[in-house]
Amino acid sequence: MDLRSILLPPGTFTIGKKFDFEAGHRLAGLAPGHKCARQHGHSYEVEVILTAPTLENPGFVTDFGLLGPFKAFLDTELDHRDLHEILPFEPTSERLAQFLAGWFIQHLQPKVHGRLVAVIVRETRSSWARFHMEER
């Protein structure tokens, strides 16, 4: 079989990269009896998803190495912190995903080829929130 004869279909390319950090929080807006109103912690997992209609050499949406500053931000600003003490909003996973999307757009988007599509924040293996970017 001549592999050069296989036609490449049109479409877009999408990548994702996961990061993690440990942090505590409480959700003061909940009723006092709600378990999440009490101080507790999570092993957060954050995934950024990027897309591009074309690839940069050697065939990347974005070089994963260029996402290092995002991990550095998580490590220096959020890791092993009380999120309700440092963030200017109630630290739900939904709001955290939106906040991290904002940080990414402000600090990394101008430096990478791919466009941020979404940020997913997982508090546990079975619980997550996704902030999906509007098309720009």
Among 80, 85, 107, 132, the one annotated catalytic: 80
Cα separation, 43 vs 86, whole angstroms: 17
Task: Specify which residues 46 forms β-bridges with.
Answer: 19, 121
Cα separation, 12 vs 49, whole angstroms: 13
- pTM score: 0.93
- Binding-site annotation, residues for Zn(2+): 25, 40, 42
Active site residue 80: yes
Among 36, 84, 90, 94, the one annotated catalytic: 36
Domain ranges of the chain: 12-132
87-121 pLDDT per residue, tens: 999 999 999 999 999 999 999 999 999 999 999 99
Kindly give the confidence (pLDDT) of every residue in the chain, 136 residues in length, as a single tens digit, with 9 standing for 90 and above. 899 999 999 999 999 999 999 999 988 888 888 988 888 999 999 999 999 999 999 999 999 999 999 999 999 999 999 999 999 999 999 999 999 999 999 999 999 999 999 999 999 999 999 999 987 6
Respond yes or no on whether the N-terminal peptide bond of residue 58 is cis (omega within 30° of 0). Answer: yes
Homologous superfamily of the 12-132 domain (CATH): 6-pyruvoyl tetrahydropterin synthase/QueD (3.30.479.10)
CB 95 within 8 A of CB 88: no
Active site residue 123: yes
- Binding-site annotation, residues: 25, 40, 42
